[in-house]
Amino acid sequence: PTAAAGKSTRGGRITPGEWERRTGLQLRFIYKRRGPSLLVAEGRLNSKGRAVASQSKSGRGLTTVPIFLLLPQVKLRKRLDLARDAERAIDAVPGRIVAGWVETRS
């Protein structure tokens, strides 16, 4: 979220859905080949720098305000689990001890 989006009611970052519910404005997606894509709103900036709906019927003061910058992200699954591998190694120790003991006796 940009500064024009404001804060969430819960104090953290605001989501696009929450922003649309609070302001009543529709967000529009703008694709950019280079750099982050945008979610923008047609409105005006109030004195605090937040995007709000324009009350003007003539469209005076209307601007396209970027509300969210969309960054590509992925969530990678956990590949290294030391606790699981250590548990497997511990479970295999008694069998290896017995196997080594039987080989030396024969």
Which is more confidently placed, 2 or 62? 2
Per the domain annotation, does 98 fall within a domain? no
Per the domain annotation, does 40 fall within a domain? yes
Per the domain annotation, does 37 fall within a domain? yes
Which is more confidently placed, 27 or 47? 27
* Model-wide pTM > 0.75: no
Per the domain annotation, does 19 fall within a domain? yes
Per the domain annotation, does 66 fall within a domain? yes
How many angstroms separate the CA atoms of 85 and 7, rounded? 43
Q: Mean of the pLDDT values across residues 4-13?
A: 81
Per the domain annotation, does 46 fall within a domain? yes
Per the domain annotation, does 7 fall within a domain? yes
Number of domains the chain contains? 1
Is residue 82 predicted with pLDDT exceeding 90? no
Which is more confidently placed, 74 or 44? 74
How many angstroms separate the CA atoms of 53 and 74, rounded? 33
- Domain holding 27, by residue range, is 3-70
Q: Which long-range contacts (CB under 8 A, 24 or more apart) does 31-39 make?
A: 36/69, 36/70, 36/71, 37/69, 37/70, 38/66, 38/67, 38/68, 38/69, 38/70, 39/66, 39/67, 39/68, 39/70
Cβ-contact 45, 67 below 8 angstroms: no
Is residue 80 predicted with pLDDT exceeding 90? no
